[in-house]
Amino acid sequence: MNPAGFFEQVRRAWAIAKKDIRIYYFKGPVLIFGVFMPVFLFLAFFMGSRQLPLSFLISGLVGMTLFFTATAVSPAIFPWEGSAKTLERLASCPITIEAIVLGDMIASILFGIGITVVTVIIGLLLGLSLLHGITLLAAIFLAACCFSAIGMLLAVPPTNVPSNIMMLSSLIKFPLVFISGIFIPLEQMPAWGLALSVCSPLTYFTDLVRYAFTDAHYFPVMIDIAALAVFTVVFTVGTMYLHKRTMPRRM
C-alpha cells in the first residue's frame, strides 16, 4: 500500500465523505431544509407566475434543488471543523488536503443527488413525462459535482466562524438563481441578463433538465454538457488549490 497513491487517497476521501454524511447531512433540519426550501420557492413562483407552464417551473425546481442542496452544508464544514479542532486532527492524518476536499465534495454530491431525485419524482407525480432520462441522470451527476465544488469554493476564506461563510454563501447563491433561467426563461431575458446567465453553471443544468422534460432547450445539449464539465473541472481544481493555500491559516 502506498499511502500517498491516488487510489489510496480516494479511499481515504471516501472515509471523509462517510463521516460528513453521518455528522452533517443525516440531521433532521438539514434534510428538511434540503426538501422544503426549494419546494417553497417553487410554490411562491407557481402561485405568482401562473402564466408559466408547470414543466418550466418543475425544471427550475429541479435546478434549484440540486444547486441549494449541493451547496447547503459543504461551505460550513471547514469552519465548523476548524473551530472544533477536528480539522487539526485531519491535518495530522496521512491524507492530502485535496483528498479532504474531495471527501467533502462526495458527501455533498450524494446529498444533492438524493434530494434532487425526490424532486424529479414529484415532477413525475405531477404529470410530467421524462423524455431524456439518461441525459437527465448525466446532467444531475455532472451538475452535482460542479455545485459541490462551488460549495467548497465558498469555504475557501480561512474563517472558523460558520455564519460568516453562510452569509457569503447566500450573497452568491441567491443572485445566481435569478440569472440562470429558472424563473425567467432565457428567451425572455434582456441581452445583459443573457450575458450574465452564460457565466452561471446553473443555467446549463436548468437548460438540460428542461430538455429532459420538454425536449426544449436554449443551448445545444452538447454545449450545456461541455459547459458544465468545464465549470466542474475549473471549480474543482480551483477549490483544491485554494484550500491548500488557506488551510494552514485555519489552524
Partner 1 sequence: MTAVIHASNLTKVFGNSTAVDHISFDVRQGEIFGFLGPNGAGKTTTTRMLTGVIPLDAGTATILGHDIHSEPVLAKQGFGVVPETSNAYTDLTAWQNLMLMGELYGLERTRAEHRSSELLGMVGLLERKDQKVQEYSKGMKQRLILAMALIHEPELLFLDEPTSGLDVQSTQMILSLLRDLNRQGTTIFLTTHNMEEANRLCHRVGIIRGGKMVAIDAPEKLKTAIDRVHKIEVSFDREVSGDALAGLTGVTGANRTGDKWQITTQNKDATIRSLVTFGQQNGAAIVTLNTLAPSLDEAFLRLTQEDKP
Q: Which residues bind partner 1 (CB under 8 A)?
A: 1, 3-4, 8-9, 11-12, 14-16, 18-19, 22-23, 84-86, 88-96, 248, 251
Q: Which is nearer to partner 1, 88 or 215 (CB)?
A: 88
Cβ 166 to partner 1 shortest distance, Å: 19
Q: Pseudo-torsion of CA 169, 170, 173, 175, nearest 10°?
A: -140
Q: Which is nearer to partner 1, 16 or 152 (CB)?
A: 16
Cβ 237 to partner 1 shortest distance, Å: 20
Q: Which is nearer to partner 1, 5 or 175 (CB)?
A: 5
- CA 32 → CA 28, 69, 115, 150, 234, distances in Å? 6, 11, 10, 22, 31
Q: Which is nearer to partner 1, 18 or 117 (CB)?
A: 18
Cβ 111 to partner 1 shortest distance, Å: 16
At 42, is the secondary structure helix, strand, or coil? helix
Q: Which is nearer to partner 1, 3 or 175 (CB)?
A: 3
Looking at 179-200, list the stretches that DSSP marks H as alpha helix, in order from N- to C-terminal side. 191-197
Q: Among residues 27, 46, 111, which one has the least CA distance to residue 74? A: 111
Cβ 148 to partner 1 shortest distance, Å: 21
Cβ 135 to partner 1 shortest distance, Å: 35
Cβ 23 to partner 1 shortest distance, Å: 5
Q: Which is nearer to partner 1, 3 or 53 (CB)?
A: 3
CA distance 32 to 50: 26
CA distance 129 to 142: 22
CA distance 57 to 46: 7
Name the grid cell of 155.
469555504
**Cα-Cα end-to-end distance for the chain:** 29
